[in-house]
Amino acid sequence: MPLHPQGSDRSEDSIRQRVDELRKEVKDMLLNGDEITNLKVKIELIGAIERLGVDYHFEEEIEGLLKRIYDHGLIDADDLYSVSLQFRLLRQHGYNITSGNIITQLMT
C-alpha cells in the first residue's frame, strides 16, 4: 500500500512548477525596471525576501543590486524607512557604510 495518496505525485509536480514560476518572477522583479524609480520597491522586496528566509534563491541578484546602490550612491531620500532599510541591508551584506555617508548623501 502506498504511503502517499494517489495523485500526490501530480500535485507535487504542480507545486514545484509553481515554485519555479514564482522564483523566476521574483528574479525578474529584482533585475528589471528603472533603477531610480523602482529602487524603493526593490529594497523593500529584498527586505521581505530576507525576512521570509528565501534569500538564498536570489543571492546573486541581491548582491548585484546592493553593489550598484553602494557604488553609485543611490540612496533614496524620500522617507526615513527607505533610507534606514538601505543602510541596514548594505551593512548586513558587509558594505563599509556609515551614518555619516548617509547624511552626506542626503544633504547633497
C-alpha cell at 4: 502517499
The phi, psi pair for 89, rounded to 5°, reads: -65, -40
Sketch the domain layout of the chain as residue ranges: 8-107
Query: Residues 21-34: pLDDT tens digits?
Result: 999 999 998 888 66
In this prediction, residue 70 has a pLDDT band, given cuts at 50, 70 and 90, of: confident
Kindly indicate whether the domain formed by 8-107 is annotated with CATH number 1.50.10.130. Answer: yes
In this prediction, residue 71 has a pLDDT band, given cuts at 50, 70 and 90, of: confident
